[in-house]
């Protein structure tokens, strides 16, 4: 009997131990709740637009997940025209050669600022809107570039008149004009709606190739601070003033030498979602190929590192080898530089076709082109994704 009964002193001790244990558990639960809560508040993985629509946030997360699966193949103006054709419903040089459409589609806004009905490359904006809806349906990704005119001189984007960037900033003589141009961009983006009335997410590729000297926002035509102000003003105007919440913002340079070089005018993590660069194969011969592989591989490594460090989506925002005059370029050169990298997509530039004097501009093969077979081989690589691959995922749900 004695053995099974506790004396009062013992009972008090056990009771206070029991109390201490309960208090400890409560404190532990509370502290982990606080940590988790704070963690969520401090590090939410959201695009730089914190009010981004559901589909945009979903796309942002899925693009990140997809980095482990493969690289989406993209093509500028793919459905609008190709070599030897224009505006044929359903036609695409990529589809004719490979049997599938690209996963990413680039479109160009140049001339929207002037209220023109067609863009800088003669694509009617109404048709562009339809192409965008058409490719969004099966889960394609849309990216928009904008070769906007020079607001100071009224000439083209390739007119690097001194002082242009300063003129569009708040207080500058062209700020009001620039805002009216952004209104037009905003109206177009708002008009992009899916079947259920939802806003179609787009990757907005602002002020591309900013470290080259050919555009008015280019390297020697503004200071890093001016460029950052231009970026901040533009994003903030679209996002906070116009309430556009369906954009992911891509910062993209041309070729670059180092991370410091790449980040010289980087607007800041809270202003960017995609980090990319453009690269063209320009020099001829075997030596040119080897150099291209080396350069592209190096830049892809750096962009992946920057992406990982900043938690941004790395991409090859534009690339090309004019007229692809090499029958094994896709597998022997391009894929060699690309295959071991984890980037979101690679967007080939446009198949503009032949001009009046018979010169051709194209970057992916058409039926009968010398690199056609090799492009098919490249397209079959398991980590190179086309439309059917992304439709299965899907990217917006």
DSSP count for the chain of H helices, then E strands: 13, 13
Q: What is the rounded CA–CA span in Å between residue 248 and residue 274?
A: 7
Residues 125-184 that bind ligand BMA (CB under 6 A): 147
Q: Which is nearer to ligand BMA, 75 or 312 (CB)?
A: 75
**Min separation Cβ 317 and ligand BMA, Å:** 13
**Min separation Cβ 145 and ligand BMA, Å:** 7
CB atoms within 10 A of CB 186: 18
Residues 356-395 that bind ligand BMA (CB under 6 A): 361
Instruction: Give the HSE-up count for residue 263: Cα atoms under 13 Å, Cβ half-sphere.
Output: 12
Q: Which is nearer to ligand BMA, 219 or 350 (CB)?
A: 350
**Min separation Cβ 152 and ligand BMA, Å:** 20
Site string for ligand BMA, 178-217 (x = CB under 6 A): ----------------------------------------
Q: Which is nearer to ligand BMA, 279 or 385 (CB)?
A: 279
**Min separation Cβ 382 and ligand BMA, Å:** 31
Q: What is the rounded CA–CA span in Å between residue 163 and residue 168?
A: 9
* Backbone dihedral angles phi then psi of residue 381, each to the nearest 5 degrees: -60, 130
Q: Does 108 bind ligand BMA (CB under 6 A)?
A: yes
* Backbone dihedral angles phi then psi of residue 278, each to the nearest 5 degrees: -110, 140
By CB under 6 A, name the one of 192, 333, 352, 384 that touches ligand BMA: 352
**Min separation Cβ 80 and ligand BMA, Å:** 11
Q: What is the rounded CA–CA span in Å between residue 290 and residue 288?
A: 6
H or E segment to which residue 278 belongs:
strand 274-280
Q: Which is nearer to ligand BMA, 46 or 118 (CB)?
A: 118
Tokens 């590729």 belong to residue: 205
Say how far residue 303 (Cα) sits from the centre of its chain: 13
Q: What is the rounded CA–CA span in Å between residue 175 and residue 153?
A: 13
Which residues is 203 bridged to in the sheet? 143, 248
Q: Which is nearer to ligand BMA, 271 or 349 (CB)?
A: 349
Per-residue buried b or exposed e for 149-163, using 16+ beta carbons within 10 Å of the residue's own CB: bbbbeeeebeebeeb
Neighbour-count burial of 243, counting CB atoms closer than 10 A to its CB (0-12 exposed, 13-18 middle, 19+ buried): exposed
Q: Which is nearer to ligand BMA, 80 or 189 (CB)?
A: 80
Identify the three-state secondary structure at position 82: strand
Count, residues near ligand BMA per rule CB under 6 A: 8
**Min separation Cβ 362 and ligand BMA, Å:** 10
**Min separation Cβ 284 and ligand BMA, Å:** 20
Q: Which is nearer to ligand BMA, 72 or 120 (CB)?
A: 120
**Min separation Cβ 81 and ligand BMA, Å:** 12
User: Which residues of this chain interact with ligand BMA, rule CB under 6 A?
Assistant: 108, 110, 120-121, 147, 350, 352, 361
């Amino acid at each position: 009997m004695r053995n099974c009964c506790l004396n009062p002193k013992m009972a008090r001790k056990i009771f206070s131990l029991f109390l201490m244990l309960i208090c400890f558990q409560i404190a532990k639960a509370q502290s982990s709740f606080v940590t988790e809560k704070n963690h969520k508040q401090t590090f939410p993985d959201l695009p730089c637009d914190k009010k981004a629509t559901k589909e945009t946030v979903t796309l942002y997360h899925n693009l990140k997940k997809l980095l482990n699966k493969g690289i989406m193949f993209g093509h500028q103006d793919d459905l609008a025209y190709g070599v030897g054709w224009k505006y044929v419903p359903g036609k695409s040089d990529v589809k004719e050669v490979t049997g599938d459409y690209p996963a990413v589609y680039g479109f160009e806004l140049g001339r929207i600022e002037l209220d023109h009905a067609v863009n800088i490359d003669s694509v009617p904006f109404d048709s562009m809107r339809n192409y965008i809806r058409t490719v969004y349906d099966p889960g394609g990704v849309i990216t928009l570039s904008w070769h906007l005119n020079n607001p100071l001189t009224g000439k083209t984007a390739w007119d690097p008149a001194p002082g242009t960037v300063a003129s569009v900033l708040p207080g500058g003589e062209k700020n009001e004009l620039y805002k009216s141009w952004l209104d037009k961009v905003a109206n177009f983006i708002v008009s992009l709606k899916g079947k259920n009335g939802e806003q179609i997410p787009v990757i907005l590729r602002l002020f591309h190739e900013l470290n080259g000297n050919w555009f008015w926002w280019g390297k020697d035509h503004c200071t890093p601070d001016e460029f950052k102000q231009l970026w901040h003003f533009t994003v903030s105007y679209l996002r906070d003033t116009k309430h556009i919440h369906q954009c992911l913002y891509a910062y993209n340079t041309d070729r670059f030498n180092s991370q410091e070089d790449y980040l010289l005018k980087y607007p800041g993590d809270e202003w960017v979602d995609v980090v990319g660069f453009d690269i063209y194969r320009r020099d001829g011969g075997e030596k040119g190929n080897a150099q291209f592989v080396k350069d592209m591989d190096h830049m892809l490594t750096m962009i992946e590192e920057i992406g990982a460090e900043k938690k941004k989506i790395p991409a090859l925002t534009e690339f090309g080898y004019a007229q692809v005059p090499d029958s094994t370029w896709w597998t022997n050169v391009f894929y060699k530089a690309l295959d071991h990298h984890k980037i979101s997509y690679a967007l080939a530039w446009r198949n503009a076709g032949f001009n009046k004097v018979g010169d051709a501009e194209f970057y992916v093969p058409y039926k009968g082109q010398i690199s056609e077979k090799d492009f098919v081989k490249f397209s079959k690589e398991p980590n190179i994704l086309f439309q059917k691959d992304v439709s299965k995922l899907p990217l917006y749900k």
